[in-house]
Each structure stands twice: as C-alpha cells, then as structure tokens.
Amino acid sequence: MRLVVAVLALVALPAAASTTASYAALDKRSAAACVTAAGLKRSKIGPAVRFSDTLLIDARVVTGTWPQKHMKGASATMLCLYHRKTGAVEVQEAAR
C-alpha cells in the first residue's frame, strides 16, 4: 500500500490554484465516492493524490475488510481513481 501511494505521489503534478474551501469540498466528494465504490467494511481512506488538470484525476487508497462472509474479515486494499469533473470512479484491488 505504501508503495502505491509513494509512486502516485512521485508522478502527480500540482493542480491549478484553487480555494481551500473548494479543495475541502472536492476531498469530501471523492472520499465518499471512493468509500462507496470500494464496498469494504470499516473502511479508511488515504489522502488524495491530485494529478494535473490535464487528467483531472485524484487517486486514493481505501483499506478495510471484505464484506463477504467467506472472506472471514480478511483485510483489503483498494486503489480508487476519481475524475474531478465527472465524478466517475473506478476501484481496483491493490497488490500487496
């Protein structure tokens, strides 16, 4: 998980200037969308890694436990990509 976050942090470019309030609102929307899309129990979400305004993507790591009974509460790590303009979300399990 730390490797995924570190790699994303290295390749992320600074976003265009914006207000603190607009970033806070964006973070709230992306966090909620990523937690919902991940579908994990007891989920925790990492900070947003903002890619440039060319891509309009924020990446987040979501951790928690699998909700399926047969997974017996095993931990899970998901990588979530959130499109800042459309609100589209894609989540994939991150390798450990």
Range of the domain at 15: 2-93
Number of domains composing the chain: 1
Residue 82, number of CB atoms within 10 A of its CB:
26
Residue carrying structure tokens 């450990």: 96
Q: How confident is the model at residue 89 (pLDDT cuts 50, 70, 90)?
A: very high
DSSP alpha helix (H) spans, 1-96: 2-11, 20-38
**Residues 8-44: tens digit of each pLDDT:** 444 444 444 568 999 999 999 999 999 999 999 999 9
What is the pTM assigned to this prediction? 0.77
**Residues 52-73: tens digit of each pLDDT:** 999 999 999 999 999 999 999 8
Q: How far apart are CA 72 and CA 8, in angstroms?
A: 30
